[in-house]
Structure 1
């Protein structure tokens, strides 16, 4: 039986929902993030705010939340020529992938997360990759995660479980999942509390915009990440409004 987990936690909507998922399931949960000189490095500050708010608003989860780890991965920014690591416009490349794709990013993230999990005695690695609402990134695919689980388990001679709670749901369903997890947290009106926390404190915008406030949170409102988040939030609100009283 698995009792501990390491969550890849960037401070965005998806990773915050994954963190709530882990806190609802496991007795000990730690978090890891990476500074790869991303343009939207404001997320590194946002994630600390999210952790603070979770501890303050969800006492039962706070008791499970362990150490947070931030790794310097500057080399990834050095070898990447993408719109997430360079000041260039978002566009589709000739190979059919958006230039927001950072080659090797999730492969490196998962390898380093497994190395840390090995040292910390953590059994499960939780990541927010998704095949339903995603930009075509090959390192977000279910097949990639299954291959990594096998390779990392063999390479470290320790059986890791890689959990992907968002793999087969869209962004509206991710909002719904956050609400559901909050409701199960033991906090009164926990669903609303967790959704409000995601709106106010998480960061998704690729441009790192924290000046423009929308119903779904902060961001430029026009980059691919903002558009996806806004669309998902609208679908979530529409479903809530149509639900019987």
Structure 2
């Protein structure tokens, strides 16, 4: 029975939801973030804020949330010519992928996370990648995660589990999952409390904009990350579609 986890925690909506999910399931949880020269490095500053808010608002999770780690991967940004690591407009590349795709990013993240989990004695690596509602990034696919789990397990000669709680759900369902996790931790209003933490303190915007406040949180409102988050919020708040008569 696994009782410890390392969460890849960027400070965004998805990774915050994954962190809450891990805190609901594991006795000991640590977090890791990566500084790879991303333009939206506002997310790095928000990581500590989100962690503090989770501990302050959810006493049931307070003792479970352990150390945080930030790994310097500036070299990844230096070799990446993408809209997330360069001051360039977001567009579709000739490859058919958006130029926000940072080649090898999740592969590198998981390799370093695997090494850290090995050293810290953590059994499960949790990441918020998703195939159901994403930008087409090949390193977010379920097959990629399974291949990385096998490679890490073989390379470290121990069983490594990569857990992907959001793999098959869209952004509306991610908002709903956060609400359910908060409510489970604190039946007296915890659902809205966790949603509020995500809205007010998590960061998703590729432009790194925290000057504009929307119903779903802070961001420029026009980049793909903001559009996806906003659309999911609207679908979730609208509730299930009425049945056809």
Identify the residue that residue 76 of structure 1 maps to in structure 2.
Answer: 76
Partner of 2:39: 39
Q: Could you report, residue by residue, the CA deviation over 1:203-235 in whole angstroms, capped at 9, with x for unpaired residues?
A: 000000000000000000000000000000001
Give the alignment of 1:131-170 within 5 angstroms.
131-170=131-170
Determine the C-alpha separation between the residues in 2 that align with 1:241 and 1:191: 21
Residue 241 of structure 1: CA displacement? 10
Answer whether contact 1:132 1:168 (CA < 8 A) is retained.
Answer: yes
Deviates more, 1:196-205 or 1:179-188: 179-188
Which ranges of structure 1 fall in alignment gaps of 5 or more residues? Answer: none
**CA shift digits 1:159-195 (9 cap, x unpaired):** 0110000000000000000001001103521000000
The aligned residue for residue 193 of structure 1 is 193
Partner of 1:66: 66
Counterpart CA distance in 2 for 1:168 and 1:187 is 26
Distance in 2 (CA, whole Å) between partners of 1:48 and 1:2 is 26
SS in 2 for 1:205: coil
- 2:229 corresponds in structure 1 to 229
Runs of 4+ in 1 over 4 A off after TM superposition: none
Query: What secondary structure does 1:99 align onto?
Result: coil
Question: Is 1:57 the counterpart of 2:60 in the alignment?
Answer: no
How many residue pairs were aligned? Answer: 242
Tell me how far 1:95 sits from its aligned partner.
Answer: 1.1
Q: In 2, are the aligned partners of 1:58 and 1:187 still within 8 Å (CA)?
A: no
User: Could you say what the CA RMSD is over the residues aligned between the two structures, in angstroms?
Assistant: 1.1
Question: What is the SS of the residue equivalent to 1:184?
Answer: helix
Q: TM-score, normalised by structure 1?
A: 0.97
How far did residue 158 of structure 1 move?
1.0
Distance 2:31 2:3 in 1: 15
